[in-house]
Amino acid sequence: QRLRRSEELVAALKSNDPVTMLSQGVLAALHAIPMEGTHYILVDALDEAVDRTDGDSQVTIPRLLAQASEEFPPWLKLVVTTRRDGRVLPLFQHAERCFLGGAVAEQRDDVRAYVERRFAELGLDAQAGAAAADRGQAIASIAERAAGNFQYADAVLAEVRGGGQHLGELDHLPRELGSLYYRFAEKRFPERGDFHHARTVLSVLLAAREPLTRSQL
C-alpha cells in the first residue's frame, strides 16, 4: 500500500545506490509500520557474498547489512549465518553471536538425532540390515563424520538413498564437506568426458543469470 502511494519511496527503490535503496526504500518505510511481536530476516552463508577482490570502497551485501543494522525497526531482527571469515566477522563487531560447530556437544547431539530421524524417514533401515546394531553403527558413523555439520549429514544420506554410497563404506568418507562433494563427484563422473553433459547444462545456467524453463534446458 505504501509503495502505491509514495513517490518518495519508489524513487528511493529506483536509486542506483544500494545504501539508499535499503535505508530509505525499505527500512525507513518499515519504521512507519506497527507490527506485533518480533519478526526475522534470515540471510544464510553471508561469507559467500564476498570474494578476494572486495575493496573497502566496494558495496557488498555483508557491508551493506552491517552498515544498516542499526536502522532496522525494533520489531525486525536480522539473523545471519557465516563461516569464520575475516572479511565478514569484523563487520558485525557488536552482534550477538552463537557459535555452531563440531566442538559443541549439543550440536553433535542434534546432528545425531537428525540423522536417526532421517534414517527412518528415508527408509534406510533395510539397507543397514535387520540388526539394530548395524543400523546404530551406520547412524553413529554418519553423525561422527559430520562433526556437527547438518549439510554433511544430509549429503551422505542423499547418496545412500540414491545408491551412490554403501553403508559399509561410511568409515572411509572424508571429514570435510568440500572433500565429500569432490568424492561424490568423482564417483559419479569417473572419466573427464562423463561430465560433458552436466557441464553443458551448468554452463548455460551460470551464463543465464536468471531461471530457465525446462524446455530451454
Over residues 122-144, the pLDDT tens digits come to 888 766 554 667 788 888 899 99
Q: Which residue has the cell 524453463?
A: 213
Q: What is the spatial distance between Cα 214 and Cα 217, in angstroms, rounded to a whole number?
A: 5
* Averaged pLDDT of the chain: 87
87 grid coordinates: 572479511
Q: Residue 170: which residues within 8 A CB-CB, separation 6 or more?
A: 138, 141, 142, 145, 156
The DSSP secondary-structure symbol of 162 reads H
75 grid coordinates: 520489531
The predicted structure's pLDDT at residue 132 = 66
One-letter amino acid at 111 equals V
Q: Residue 7: which residues within 8 A CB-CB, separation 6 or more?
A: none
Look at residues 17, 77, 78, 91 and name the one whose alpha carbon lies nearest to residue 47: 91
Q: What is the spatial distance between Cα 70 and Cα 94, in angstroms, rounded to a whole number?
A: 10
3-state helix, strand, coil in the chain (%, to 5): 60, 5, 35
C-alpha separations of 121 from 118, 132, 151 in Å: 5, 16, 17
Q: Is the pTM of this model over 0.85?
A: no
63-119 pLDDT, tens digit each: 999 999 999 999 999 999 998 888 899 999 889 998 877 678 888 899 999 999 998
